[in-house]
Structure 1
């Protein structure tokens, strides 16, 4: 990507979703901040929170795209960082389409719970800007650490890379 600034990424995303960002944030009184971001400025937390529903994304994912640290209220809670996800994915894949639809409907109907004790991002999981960094920040927002990523993708795709490989991909532009 020639220019991976948040403003460029935001414009591309809005174009693909056919969203008029300026009109969407005008009501929140953040037009000037948005225009500054589109010219290469850094976004503030308030703007990112306003953009999330406009884009149809979770606020934490907009923070990941912008490479802005998550506020405590958006950090996921938990100790395991996704260790049970590979088993859940394996079980889900084994279900038929009707049962999968039932599970998805049940999950969507569950109430959202806020974090009780936010998990801080360890230094080795702070990634540089770029596509790989964005992807890994989005995955971290899903509660998956490197080991859970490797196991989940092995279960769902049949392809296994070591956990450290997933951690290293964003650090090497030639990948």
Structure 2
């Protein structure tokens, strides 16, 4: 098994607590609402949202993938840290991944904003090479989701006081 890492940083005008609330704590509700062309639903299969929680993500009709299962590995609401692992779904078998782990940390940024840091670890079966273009595309998808959530928070400040 090999591990390929991919890093992404995004600067936001929003403070860490608002981004964490929307991107982590409310993502299961928000994503199907604000990007329904990507996500149909996000459902908790077992657990209370903390470590060990298993979630099923159902993608919108027409997507390349039908579903994914994510496991929450760590959530720290005070330090704005969230780790989760994609443990099941078509993407894993299609690309010969054993799993994909995400480590999200949101830090204080300039002028009261924040810096969203994402470290993705692709755990491959065998010695599989991941093209640089694929890593770039994955970062673009994360960036797009982040900006959609950021836009939602900016449009609904009353929900994120």
Give the TM-score normalised by the residue count of structure 1.
0.25
Give the TM-score normalised by the residue count of structure 2.
0.26
Work out which of the two has the higher radius of gyration on C-alpha atoms and give 1 or 2.
Answer: 1
Give 1 or 2: higher strand fraction.
Answer: 2
